[in-house]
Structure 1
Amino acid sequence: MNPSTALARVLVDELARCGLVEAVVAPGSRSTPLALALVAHPGVRVHVRVDERSASFLALGLARASRRPVAVVCTSGTAAANFHPAVLEADESGVPLLVLTADRPPELRGTGANQTVDQIGLYGGAVRMFAEVGTPDPAPGMVAYWRSLACRAWASALGGHPGPVHLNVAFRDPLTPDQPTGDGPQWTAPLDGRAEGRPWTSRPGPRTESAPHVPADVERGVIVCGDGDYDPVPFLALAEITGWPLLAEPTSNARRSGAISTYRQLLAVPGFARAHAPELVVSVGRPNLSRQILAYLRRTERHVVVTTSSVGDPTASLPDDFSDPARTATDVVAAIAPPAGLNWERPASTEWSRSWARAEGLAREAVDGVLDAEETLTEPRLARDLASHVAAGSLLFAGSSMPIRDLDATMHARCGVRLVGNRGVSGIDGTVSTAIGAALAHQRAGEGHAYALLGDLALLHDQNGLIIGPGEPRPDLAIVVVNNDGGGIFSGLEQAGHPDFERVFGTPHGVSMERVAAVTDLPYTRVEWATDLPKALLGEGLRIVEVCTERAASAALRRRIQDAVDAAVTGTF
Structure 2
Amino acid sequence: MNPSTVQATVIVDELVRCGVRDAVLCPGSRNAPLSFALHAADAEGRLRLHVRVDERGAGFLAVGLGLRSRRAVPVVCTSGTAVANLHPAVLEASYNGAPLVAITTDRPIELHGTGAGQTIEQAGLFGHAVRATEQLAIAERRAGQHGRWRSTVDRVVASALGTLSGDSGPAQLNVPFREPLVPDHEGDWPEPVTGRDGGKPWSGIAPRFEHLEPAELDPDASTLVIAGQGAHGPVPPELPVLAEPGSELWHRSLRTGMWLLPAALSGEAPWLFPDQVVVLGRPTMHRSVQRLLADERVAVFAVPPASAGRVRPQWTDLAGSVRGVGALPKSWAPHPAFGARWQHTDNTASHLLDASLDAEPWATGPALAASVVAALPADSLLFAGPSNPVRDIALAARPRDDVTVIGNRGVAGIDGVVSAAIGASLAHHGPGYALMGDLTFLHDAGGLLLGPDEPRPDLTIVVANDNGGSVFATLEQGAPEHAGAFERIFGTPLNADLSALCRAVGVEHTLATGTGDLLGALRPGRGPRVVEVPVNRSDRRALHHRLRAAVTRFS
The TM-score with structure 1 as length reference comes to 0.89
Deviation at residue 231 of structure 1 after TM alignment? 4.9
Unaligned runs of 5+ in 2: none
* SS of residue in 2 equivalent to 1:252: coil
Give, in whole Å, the separation in 2 of the partners of 1:31 and 1:73.
7
Distance in 1 (alpha carbons) for counterparts of 2:267 and 2:497: 44
Residue identity in the other structure for 1:64 = L
Aligned residue in 2 for 1:306? 303
Give SS of 2:531's match.
strand
Task: Identify the match of residue 450 of structure 2 among 447, 468, 475.
Answer: 468
Q: Which residue of 2 aligns with 1:440?
A: 426
- What corresponds to 2:242 in structure 1? 247
Name the residue aligned to 1:286.
282
Give the superposition deviation at 1:273: 6.4
Match for residue 483 of structure 1? 465
Partner of residue 324 from structure 2, selected from 316, 331, 337:
331
Report the alpha carbon displacement of residue 205 of structure 1 after superposing the two structures with TM.
9.2
| SS in structure 1 at match of 2:125 | coil
Q: Does 1:530 align with 2:525?
A: no
Query: Which amino acid counterpart does residue 58 of structure 1 have in structure 2?
Result: L
Whether the 8 Å CA contact 1:218–1:280 is kept in 2: the answer is no
The answer to whether the Cα contact below 8 Å between 2:15 and 2:153 also exists between their aligned partners in 1 is yes
1:279, distance to aligned residue in structure 2 (A): 2.3
> Comparing 359-368 with 20-29, which one deviates more in the overlay?
359-368
> How far off its partner does 1:318 sit?
9.2
Q: Is the CA contact 2:158–2:204 (under 8 Å) kept in the aligned structure 1?
A: no
Amino-acid identity (%): 44
User: Residue type matched to 2:304 in 1?
Assistant: T
Distance 1:48 1:60 in 2: 15
Query: Retained in 1: the 8 A contact 2:24–2:50?
Result: yes
Deviation larger for 504-513 or 133-142 = 133-142
- Structure 2 CA distance, aligned partners of 1:147 and 1:78? 27
Structure 1: 5+ residue stretches without partners: none
Q: How much has 1:192 moved relative to structure 2? A: 4.6
Q: Are 2:507 and 1:514 aligned?
A: no
In structure 2, do the counterparts of structure 1 residues 453 and 207 end up closer, same or farther at CA, with 3 Å as the change threshold?
closer
Helix, strand or coil at the partner of 1:471: coil
SS in 1 for 2:472: helix
Shift of 1:308: 3.0
Deviation track 1:351-391 (CA, whole Å, cap 9, x = no partner) reads x2232123212221221111111451211100011111101
Q: Deviations over 1:495-533 (max 9, x none)?
A: 124222111111110112212211112111111223432
Question: Does the Cα contact within 8 Å between 1:148 and 1:200 map onto a contact in 2?
Answer: no
1:4 aligned onto 2:4: yes
Tell me if the contact between 2:382 and 2:432 (Cα under 8 Å) persists in the aligned partners.
yes
Which of 391, 396, 400 aligns to 2:386? It is 400
- Deviation, 1:200, is 6.4
Secondary structure at the aligned position of 1:256 is classed as: helix
1:37 match: 37
Asked whether the equivalents of residues 453 and 479 of structure 1 are also in contact (C-alpha less than 8 Å), the reply is: yes
User: Is contact 1:63-1:438 (8 Å) kept?
Assistant: yes
Tell me the distance in 1 between the aligned counterparts of 2:453 and 2:554: 56
The one-letter amino acid of 2:323's match is T
**Residues 1:147 and 2:167 aligned together:** no
1:156 to 155, 159, 174: 159
Q: 1:9-66 CA deviation, whole Å, 9 max, x = no partner?
A: 1111111111001000010010011111112113110000111111111111101110
- 1:394, 1:450 within 8 Å by CA — same for their partners in 2? yes
Q: CA deviation at 1:549?
A: 1.4
Query: Conserved in 2, the CA contact under 8 Å of 1:251 and 1:420?
Result: yes
Tell me the CA shift for residue 323 of structure 1.
Answer: 3.3
For 2:83, the equivalent position in structure 1 comes to: 80
Conserved in 1, the CA contact under 8 Å of 2:214 and 2:328? yes
Change in CA separation of 1:190 and 1:196 when aligned onto 2, cut-off 3 Å: closer
Is the 2:385–2:417 contact (alpha carbons within 8 Å) kept by the matching residues of 1? Answer: yes
How many residues were matched structurally? 542
TM-score by length of 2: 0.92
- Alpha-carbon distance in 1 for matches of 2:310, 2:424: 29
Superposition deviation, residue 218 in structure 1: 2.2
Among candidates 333, 336, 348, match of residue 349 of structure 1: 336
What secondary structure is seen at the aligned counterpart in 1 of 2:267?
helix
Answer with 107-116 or 72-81: which moved more.
107-116
- Asked if the contact 2:512/2:518 (under 8 Å) is kept, the reply is yes
1:306-355 CA distance string (max 9 Å, x none): 233279xxxx979612333343222222x423445x4xxxx9631x2232
Alignment partners' CA distance in 2, 1:295 and 1:439:
36
- Contact kept, 8 Å, 1:288 with 1:325, in 2: the verdict is no
Contact 1:226 1:288 in 2 (8 A): yes
What is the one-letter code of the residue matched to 2:19?
Answer: G
Query: 2:271 touches 2:341 (CA, 8 Å); kept in 1?
Result: no
Instruction: Determine whether 1:198 maps to 2:200.
Output: yes
Q: Does 1:266 align with 2:248?
A: no
Q: Structure 1's 204 and 96: CA in aligned 2 closer, same or farther, altered over 3 A?
A: closer
Matched, 1:173 2:170: no
Distance 2:99 2:177 in 1: 25
- Give the corresponding residue for 2:73: 70
In the TM superposition, what is the alpha-carbon distance from 1:268 to its structure 2 partner? 2.0
- Please give the per-residue CA displacement for 1:221-272, whole angstroms capped at 9, x wherever unaligned: 11111123x555x12xx1x1xx221111111032224x31111111122114
Assess, with a 3 A threshold, how the Cα gap between structure 1 residues 186 and 80 changes in structure 2: closer, same or farther. Answer: farther
Query: Does the C-alpha gap of structure 1 residues 430 and 506 become closer, same or farther in structure 2, counting only changes over 3 Å?
Result: same
Report the Cα offset of residue 211 of structure 1: 6.4
2:15 paired with 1:19: no
- Give the aligned partner of residue 425 of structure 1: 411
1:276 maps to 272
Shift of 1:540: 2.9
Moved more, 18-27 or 367-376: 367-376
- Aligned mates of 2:140, 2:9 — CA distance in 1: 14
- Do the aligned partners of 2:457 and 2:528 also contact (CA within 8 Å) in 1? yes
- Name the aligned partner's letter for residue 64 of structure 2: G
Whole-Å separation in 2 of the counterparts to 1:441 and 1:207? 23
* Residues 204 and 30 of structure 1, relative CA distance in 2, 3 Å threshold: closer
Cα pair distance change 1:207/1:158, threshold 3 Å? closer
Change beyond 3 A, Cα 1:555–1:288 = same
How far is 1:99 from its partner?
A: 0.2
Distance 1:294 1:222 in 2: 14
Counterparts of 1:210 and 1:522 in 2: how far apart (Å)?
A: 48
Match of 1:224 in 2: 226
> 1:459 aligns to what?
441
Q: Which residue of 1 aligns with 2:314?
A: 321
1:212 is aligned, of 198, 214, 221, to 214
Alignment counterpart, residue 102 of structure 2, candidates 99, 110, 114? 99
Shift of 1:204: 9.2
The answer on whether the counterparts of 1:3 and 1:186 sit within 8 Å (CA) in structure 2 is no
